[in-house]
Chains A and B, each alone.
Chain A
Amino acid sequence: MQSKDGLVSNNASTSTTAPRSLFDKLWQAHVVHQAEGQPTLLYIDLHLVHEVTTPQAFEGLRLANRKVRRPDLTFGTVDHNVPTTREHRFNILDTVARQQIEALRKNCADFGIHLADVGNAEQGIVHVIGPELGLTLPGKTIVCGDSHTSTHGAFGALAIGIGTSEVEHVLATQTLQQNRPKSMLVRVNGALPAGVTAKDLALAIINQIGTDGGTGSAIEYSGEAIRALSMEGRMTLCNLAIESGARSGMVAPDETTFDYVKGRPYAPQGEDWNKAVAYWRTLPSDPGAKFDRVVEVDATRIEPWVTWGTSPGMSAPISGLVPRPEEGRDEVERTGILRALEYMDIKGGTPIAELKVDRVFVGSCTNGRLEDLRAAASVLRGHHVSPRVQMMVVPGSELVKQQAEAEGLDKIFLSAGAEWREPGCSMCLGMNPDTLLPGERCASTSNRNFEGRQGRGGRTHLVSPSMAAAAAVAGHFTDVRLWKAGE
């Protein structure tokens, strides 16, 4: 197999004329070795590392007297544990968290890996900084010891979340053993209605196919509604591919992608840029490309979406009701609903719009980018957060923070009574001090509503940034499409 740019794949058995999908092209271009009865060895172009899932991997390298094969293709940052208050960022009170961050510093120094540390202008959530620095590019294979690595697929990259043993494997060999996933096309037909975002679309898709609907698969999202999404929106969508169980989510690169990437610090420049774009234009799925499964989604029926339960698939439109256990399709689902309602302390049949919130969190690798903060700010402008609600806004990176402040978004959040924090993963998973108290109910722009995810006993409802902001003002969920601008 040889494409016109001269990139040769070892997959000699594939016909040169058969139409190929984006996934087929990405996979074939990265095959290092394949043999019957063994997983394929794929080359990895970019390995992002953070403090939580790497210390044991570096320790493994040391024990086996191994080096990092390609420190130049490895990039580190700290995000999961870092406090988001200025006074504690450089003085972490949690000694275990501090040791883990110090371990990453030592590991990056010892093995020659660039680290975007706290205080560095490049620091931020690993899935926010990869794209904004131009490290994440179309055509790449990207891995990180974090399930939300699927985010990077928004650029037409093959991005796979891995465990710590695999992190060690990639550090040592710059390759990953993978069984070829099944391919799945999610075609989103029609346009999203006004006021409906990529987050709502993503939650609606998970609701449609289930939290294991994508298991074993690489998903490509296509269709009119996807083409119309910004890069931020595509990142939100691909970020949540893992919540449907998919190994990766991806969107074919187009002009929107190239416009986003151009001029970013680590993106190709000059003549390399032209060559890169020429190559990237060859990546979209060929007409007639085959997929193992095709799912059709009607974008026009999607509303602002809210999760009510303890799994990202347990969700309903804002106009809908919390389901009753007897509405489950089988015994497993009925038991699941019953358990979730008990944990969430809500009754089946309750209108979603009647659910009151105590806390609001805007941020995370799902919705912590500039466009997300703009959406939340535009709802808050001229309004005040309800006195019974505490709202926290956490930018996804130093760059997002700087850009938001340059636009005055921080002023809008602060004058509305919300907190404006420093960048990190924060209350998406509450590894740092930002957590819910037992029983607190939170409207969150993050990605998981599992039991205790944001703090033991905490209750999480996943929504878009504009829905979160509207809930902060109203004190309960409300349809942001009917929102009245403030004075």
Chain B
Amino acid sequence: MQPMRIHHGIVAPLDRANVDTDQIIPKQFLKRIERTGYGPFLFNDWRYDSAGNPRPEFLLNREPYTKATILLAGRNFGCGSSREHAAWALTDFGILVVIAPSFADIFHQNAANNGLLTVALPEEKIAELFARAAAHPGYQLTINVETLTLTDDHGLSAKFPLDPFRQHCLLNGLDQIGITLQHESAIQAYEAKSKPY
């Protein structure tokens, strides 16, 4: 996992709530056995017509959003299927941060396991970010994982919450399995305990 300390990038404002993982990466791309290469299929059915041609009106097909690294979205982002391919598709496209009022649990965890930062902010703050993104073409944000602040070039500065353990893992690019294996003796002790049947 790549560590993240300070990230600066273009914000793509996707003004939809309940964006489910079926939309982020449709089922036909889940048959692959690789972890990479999902970026071209991100939001496939919204991004391309049924003949596979890009829909010019879709956000991520328009400049400068083809180079966006921050996705701004509505509440309950990532609901539905547990497919980690959703996190892989976002990061493979180049999205490293998703900002939304709330995230579905499994997506939230999958994102953390892939160094994809999820920033949850109150609805009013999200509405303000959408307004700023609309007012300033090519709107950019700087996200500081150390100080947990988010700033733009137009005077905005906001704090965001992040679980301290996630912050620690993201800052250091830590491997979860490696962390758990430090507790090998606790796992062995658990396995050695008597069972009810």
Q: Which residues of A contact B (CB under 8 A)?
A: 5-8, 32-33, 37-39, 41, 43, 52-53, 55-56, 59, 64, 66, 69, 80-81, 94, 96-97, 99-100, 103, 139, 145-147, 149, 161-166, 168-169, 172-175, 177, 179, 181, 211-212, 215-216, 245, 247, 268, 272-273, 275-276, 278-279, 311, 332, 335-336, 339, 429-431, 438, 448, 450-453, 456-457
Contacts and interface: CB of A to CB of B under 8 A. Distances in A.
Contact of A147 (B81, B102, B187, B196): B81
A450 B177 contact: no
A147 B34 CA distance: 20
B45 A452 contact: yes
7 contacts: A43-B191, A55-B33, A100-B32, A147-B80, A272-B197, A332-B74, A457-B50
Interface in B23-71: 23, 26-28, 30-35, 45, 50
Contacts of A146: 82
Nearest to B178: A64
Given A32-B183, A174-B187, A179-B163, 18 more contacts: A6-B194, A37-B164, A41-B180, A43-B191, A52-B30, A163-B110, A165-B113, A168-B177, A175-B187, A211-B18, A211-B76, A216-B105, A245-B79, A268-B197, A335-B16, A335-B17, A448-B80, A452-B26
Contact of B195 (A7, A52, A174, A438): A7
B76 A245 contact: yes
A23 to B, nearest CB: 15
Interface string B76-90: 100111111001000
A32 B190 contact: yes
B27 A56 contact: no
Task: Give the 4 A-B residue pairs with the shortest CB-CB distance, closest first.
Answer: A165-B113, A55-B33, A279-B196, A163-B110
Contacts of A215: 76, 102, 104-105
A371 to B, nearest CB: 25
Contacts of A335: 15-17
B165 A38 contact: yes
Contacts of A165: 84, 110, 113-114, 176
Determine the main DSSP class of B at the interface with A. loop
A163 B106 contact: yes
Given A37-B164, A94-B31, A451-B23, A163 B76 contact: no
A304 B153 CA distance: 54
Contact of A96 (B22, B31, B113, B164): B31
Contacts of B177: 64, 66, 168-169, 172-173
A81 B194 CA distance: 40
A276 B33 contact: no
B82 A7 contact: no
Contacts of B195: 7
Nearest to A8: B193
B76 to A, nearest CB: 4
Contacts of B152: none
Contact of A139 (B26, B105, B164, B196): B196
B196 A5 contact: yes
